[in-house]
């Protein structure tokens, strides 16, 4: 039982490059989330998927797209990376929004 897994753990991109962050959970949770964490700002919700087949914008969705591939997997795509997207990205899953389980994070540096 791995919980929430994220790949890759680290990534360096050049401005304008694209990439997809992968997230998978094995807890049979309906809901999944993507957050970014920046120094002094806590975690901010980018997108969430309340259930398989649905996705909705969070607080900071600009520059990102998501895909809920199936119940287990929720990916985050940066189409044209910008330095402002340098951050640590966390995926989470839950049965109820009040109890979220987080992955270990992806550290992204955009040059």
As measured in angstroms, the least distance from the Cβ of 42 to other proteins is: 4
Question: How many residues contact other proteins, by CB under 8 A?
Answer: 26
- Does position 44 interact with other proteins (CB under 8 A)? The reply is yes
Written as one string, the DSSP assignment of 15-84 is: TT--EEEEEEE-S--SEEEEEEE-TTS-EEEEEEESSTT--EE-S--TT-EEEE-SSSBEEEEESS--GG
Using the rule CB under 8 A, which residue among 58, 65, 73, 75 binds other proteins? Answer: 58
Which two three-digit tokens encode residue 47? 């997108």
As measured in angstroms, the least distance from the Cβ of 90 to other proteins is: 5
Q: In whole angstroms, what is the distance from residue 37 CA to residue 78 CA?
A: 16
Using the rule CB under 8 A, which residue among 18, 59, 80, 82 binds other proteins? Answer: 59
How many residues in total does the chain contain? 111
Residues engaged in binding other proteins (CB under 8 A): 4, 31, 33, 35, 40-45, 48, 50, 56, 58-59, 90, 92, 97-105
């Amino acid at each position: 039982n791995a919980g929430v897994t994220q790949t890759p753990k680290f990534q360096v991109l050049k401005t304008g490059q694209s990439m997809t962050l992968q997230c998978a959970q094995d807890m049979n949770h309906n809901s999944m989330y993507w957050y970014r964490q920046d120094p002094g700002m806590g975690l901010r919700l980018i997108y969430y998927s309340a259930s398989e087949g649905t996705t909705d914008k969070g607080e900071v969705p600009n520059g990102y797209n998501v895909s809920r591939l199936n119940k287990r997997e929720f990916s985050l795509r940066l189409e044209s990376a910008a330095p402002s997207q340098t951050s640590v990205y966390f995926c989470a899953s839950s049965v109820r929004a009040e109890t979220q389980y987080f992955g270990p994070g992806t550290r992204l540096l955009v040059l």
